[in-house]
Amino acid sequence: MPSCLRQLGEASGPALLEAAADLRSYLAAVPDPRARRGTRHPWTALLTASAAAVLAGAASITAIGEWVADAPQRVLALLGFRPDPLTGLIRPPHATTIRLVLAAADGDALDRAIGDFLQERKPPAPAPGRKVIAVDGKTLRGSRTADRTATALIAAMTHSGEVLAQRQIDGKSNEIPAFAPLLDRIDLTGAVITADALHTQHNHATYLHERGAHYLAVVKRNHPRLHERVRGLGATSAWTTSSTPGPITATRSAD
């Protein structure tokens, strides 16, 4: 499951089932790729059940299937499954159905739905100070196979550990083209964006400035002119400005 989904278990707010029921309205935006003929279970119910299982601690597809199979009737109804018109009972989906659904789901659409859900959930009290968002890319452990390269994701996360958005990186590209699309759905006004040296790009700086954000940029020798300008600042390795959106800190690196 995407790491963004795992953040559901750490989000503050309503209890597990209430949170899953609320999430269902967001997951309804994830397109259903299945043919209408022969489908037994509602698409959104299958996604919501998977989310509820992760909320309950499931860490694998097998565990998700087991959780759904053991769920009481009232829980299945809350998740959106329909009862049999003859018996009135809800038959839970098979674990294989869960696996096929999660494999067929649009990963970016699923990440957007969960990210929107997490952003709408209000914390008990506003965090003190300026909002800081880290942008970073990671490779999913266990995603590499004999005939497929590892799956790479780029995510935007608060420094308190809340994932705000996530996207899969094109296997033939890198994180750079995914930077702006990742942040497009997040309110960046007044926020500080941190990222590694890969994202010290002129286009990224322009984009963040236009979105009203500040940023921290790591400057290395692959940007020789900028690196020399930072070095020319003297003994201190950083410079700051906070009067307008833009760079807050540029850190010099000897690499």
pLDDT digits (tens, 9 = 90+) for 152-182: 888 898 887 778 888 888 777 788 999 999 9
Token pair recorded at residue 196 = 């590694």
**Percentage of the residues of the chain whose pLDDT score is greater than 90:** 29
- pLDDT-wise least confident of 19-23, 35-39, 83-87, 209-213: 19-23
pLDDT exceeds 80 at position 245: no
Closest CA to 133 of 75, 193, 175: 193
pLDDT exceeds 60 at position 74: yes
Distance between CA atoms of residues 113 and 30, nearest Å: 7
Segment 93-102, tens digit of pLDDT: 998 999 999 8
Amino acid identity, residue 90?
Answer: I
Cβ atoms < 10 Å from Cβ of 228 = 11
Distance between CA atoms of residues 153 and 150, nearest Å: 10
Q: Which residue has the tokens 């979105």?
A: 211
Distance between CA atoms of residues 255 and 186, nearest Å: 32
- pLDDT-wise least confident of 47-56, 115-124, 180-189: 115-124
Mean pLDDT confidence for 146-157 = 82
Between 142 and 108, name the one with better pLDDT: 108
pLDDT exceeds 70 at position 2: no
Distance between CA atoms of residues 49 and 64, nearest Å: 8
pLDDT exceeds 60 at position 22: yes
pLDDT exceeds 60 at position 37: yes
pLDDT at res. 138: 85
Segment 181-231, tens digit of pLDDT: 999 988 899 999 999 888 989 899 999 999 999 998 888 888 888 778 877
Which span out of 21-25, 60-64, 137-141, 167-171 was modeled with the highest average pLDDT?
A: 60-64
pLDDT exceeds 90 at position 46: yes
